[in-house]
Amino acid sequence: MSADNKAIVRRLYEEVWNKRKLEVVSEIISPSHALQAPNIFGSSIGPEAYKRQVLLFLAGYPDLHWTLEDTIAEKDKVVACWTISGTHKGDYLGVPATNKKVSVDGMTIHHIANGKIMDSYSNWDALGMMQQLGVVPTLGEPKGATAR
């Protein structure tokens, strides 16, 4: 069971996110799937909502790539530890394109039942992304030349 669940999660990252095969979303995401993450606004229920989130991310980062660093499976849960990287070429979270490259770590806990992802709880370094884009100062850095 754990190996099957890991394979479903790998499909999500490799086929949907990296190969842009959005049709796979309907195959592996449950109609009642709820996505919870720091960047989610509005409805996040079901495959169509998941596709919208993918498209929002890709609009901002057209070369976005996900690297699965590790997966851990226990019963009906799979934890995916990942790194995303890409170039900020379009608006994302209200930030216009900066053309800067970013690399951000995160993890998602996927609940799987009957061969589909039922729920996903994601947490990632959104602050780090904004710092890499230059829209938020890095913690501990002075704001200007006169700051001490």
What integer is the mean pLDDT of 102-130?
Answer: 96
Q: Is the pLDDT of residue 42 over 70?
A: no
Cβ–Cβ under 8 Å, residues 68 and 89: no
Torsion over CA: 122, 127, 130, 132 (sign): negative
Quote the pTM value: 0.89
Supply the pLDDT for residue 146: 47
Q: Is the pLDDT of residue 147 over 50?
A: no
Q: How far is CA 108 from CA 78, 98, 135, 142, in A?
A: 8, 27, 25, 33
Cβ–Cβ under 8 Å, residues 80 and 14: no
What integer is the mean pLDDT of 38-62?
Answer: 88
Q: Is the pLDDT of residue 80 over 80?
A: yes
Domains of the chain, first to last:
2-133 (3.10.450.50)
